[in-house]
Amino acid sequence: MERRQLSRKRIEVDVEIAQAGKERCYGFAVDISRQGVSVQLWKGQLPAHQRSVILNFRIWTGRETLYRKMYARVVHSDSQTIGLEFTEHDFVAEAIVNDLMHYQKHERRRQASGAGNASGSQALHRGETEHPSV
């Protein structure tokens, strides 16, 4: 398929997915290319008919948290994973993807394992970040 021609890079960056008139979903990007991203959800889910969304990425740089917003089209969705495609030739989206690929090495995301760290998950649900002081 054409949208898979570019190689994807493994990343792990928090993302909030906004949809008009609906509750927000939360998850993390698991792989990305200049054409699209795959998101693993940990809270919420997209309606089956949802076709476009706003992605709000939260990137830890090692010193501060950057916030990046971009638009995407839903190309695949199931209960836990969403495949999204960016607008072709969108220079802003390309710059955001470059930021994500560069800074993802600095991301200190705390992932709940099994029953997990409830306080960390609750902090992320509230939109807070848990990063150690540098």
Q: What is the pLDDT along the chain (134 residues), one digit of tens a residue?
A: 444 556 778 888 899 999 888 889 999 999 988 889 999 999 998 888 888 999 999 888 888 888 999 999 999 988 889 999 998 777 888 888 888 888 766 554 433 333 344 444 444 444 444 443 33
CA atoms of 97 and 18, how far apart (whole Å) = 18
CB 72 within 8 A of CB 36: yes
pTM for this predicted structure: 0.70
Q: Which domains does the chain have, with CATH numbers?
A: 2-125 (2.40.10.220)
Name the helix (H) or strand (E) containing 52: strand 52-60
Amino acid, single-letter form, for residue 16: E
CA atoms of 52 and 49, how far apart (whole Å) = 10
The predicted pLDDT at position 115 comes to 37
User: Of 63, 68, 74, 69, which Cα lies nearest the Cα of 39?
Assistant: 74
